[in-house]
Amino acid sequence: MENKYIHRVKVTGVNSCRFILAAAFIFSGFVKAVDPMGTQYKIEDYLTAFHLIDWVPSFFPLVGSILLSCAEFTIGALLFLGIRRKISTYGAFFLMLFMTPLTLYLAIFDPVSDCGCFGDALVLSNWATFGKNVVLLIASFFTFRYRRVMFRFYTLKTEWMVSLYTVCYIFCVAMYCYYYLPIIDFRPYHIGADFHKGRAIPENVETSEYETVFILEKDGEKRTFSLDNYPDSTWTYVGRKLKQTKKGYEPPMADFSIMDAETRLDITEEIISDSIYTFLLVSYRLDIADDSNIDLINEIYDYSIEEGYNFYALTTSVEDDIEVWCDKTGAEYPFTFGDDIVLKTMIRSNPGLLLIKDGIIYNKWSHNDLPDEFDLSARLEELPLGEIALYKKDQSRSVIMGYCIPLLLIFLFDVTLIRREPKKKKEKLVENDVLENK
């Protein structure tokens, strides 16, 4: 017979572990679901680091992104509500059993800069991520081992509804954010962001220091060299990258720059300081960009010319890809170059459209949600589109309510009808016994 005190400690400990796990999994799954393309890019980074990118189909990173977000959020929600206890505790334990050694490898060898477990909402170092995963692994083991003492919020008769709704909800969130744009934007280039402030360095702060590292190849072997040990001409130049030598303050938009494709001049300040509206068509790779809405893009360009606004295409594609894009789409707008990672960060759509003025981001559109001729029926100064679309910046309240309100309704149904049935049956039996004894 288990001691009551020990049992109480076990119940308290296991349920505490369960809520810690639930919070981590819900948060992790949710931030991945609202930014499925960001998670896709992170999975691609992993596959590239482990030399697996050429071994998987091109759709795998995106599908993996959506499935991972759905799995994490669902496991977290089931743990929090105390339903489907076997599935949720098994899922949490084995997921942490996989993630913990993986993050230890990342911490030691640093193949990717951060694990991306919480997306752009909370960026942790690889060692911090490993420490967090060790704690969650221990919590998942105790929750898995003693799952029977977890108390539940729903009865067995209604838990299937909660489970089904949870899966459908998070899947729909992920698909909506993929088709349009993230409903909550955790990145520096959100609506309302100021490029001037995002690129500024405060006074009296130490900045990061870098050195240029050159990548060269010889006999199929690639190695990195600095200026001090640059090899002889038998090595073939492959590329170069910046290596951080000292960690310091880095502005969130430090890498943002725009270079004119024809003159090769930096026109960043010219664009972000312009008091005239500027449309930026962003496509980090034109060769894989979606051209299904190209007519709308061309109409927006024509509109900008007629009304005296600026319009630039911002890409990292080579000139051959730009020529192919122009031939295929009839594009007449000027092209500029930017950093690959920055363009992916600016907008989760390929292509996507930004509207900026005085260095402030007024609006962002996916290529699936571009403004049409009815939206652009007058000058931007006279239209709602010409105002900062803060309503798009953070829609977290409505999204959270979209999950919690149905759960509350199911809970009320569970309490008022399902849980009262056994009581009614018991009262009926007592009433029958009384009648029989009269």
Which tens digits make up the pLDDT trace of 385-438? 999 987 666 677 888 899 999 999 999 998 887 766 655 554 454 444 433 333
Residues of the chain with pLDDT under 70: 1-2, 239-242, 391-394, 419-438
CA 103, CA 408: separation in Å to the nearest integer? 37
| Residue position matching structure tokens 């949600």 | 369
Pick one of 3.40.50.970, 3.40.50.980, 3.30.390.30, 3.40.30.10 as the CATH number of 254-393: 3.40.30.10
pLDDT of residue 416: 86
pLDDT of residue 96: 97
Preceding amide of 351 cis, omega within 30: yes
Closest alpha carbon to 151 in 4, 11, 10, 7: 11
pLDDT of residue 113: 81
pLDDT of residue 432: 45
Rounded to the nearest 5°, which phi and psi values hold at 333?
Answer: -75, 155
Q: Are 328 and 403 in contact (CB under 8 A)?
A: no
CA 148, CA 397: separation in Å to the nearest integer? 34
Closest alpha carbon to 37 in 182, 172, 184: 182
Closest alpha carbon to 72 in 13, 136, 15, 141: 136
Rounded to the nearest 5°, which phi and psi values hold at 393?
Answer: -65, -45
CA 390, CA 381: separation in Å to the nearest integer? 17
pTM for this prediction: 0.87
Record the tokens describing residue 376, joined without a space. 């652009």
Which tens digits make up the pLDDT trace of 186-222? 999 999 999 999 999 888 787 777 777 778 888 888 8
CA 219, CA 226: separation in Å to the nearest integer? 20
- Domain spans of the chain? 4-179, 201-246, 254-393, 396-437
* CA angle, 158 then 160 then 165, to 5°: 105
pLDDT of residue 241: 67
Name the CA dihedral angle for 347, 353, 357, 360, rounded to a multiple of 10 degrees.
-10
Which tens digits make up the pLDDT trace of 307-324? 999 999 999 998 899 999
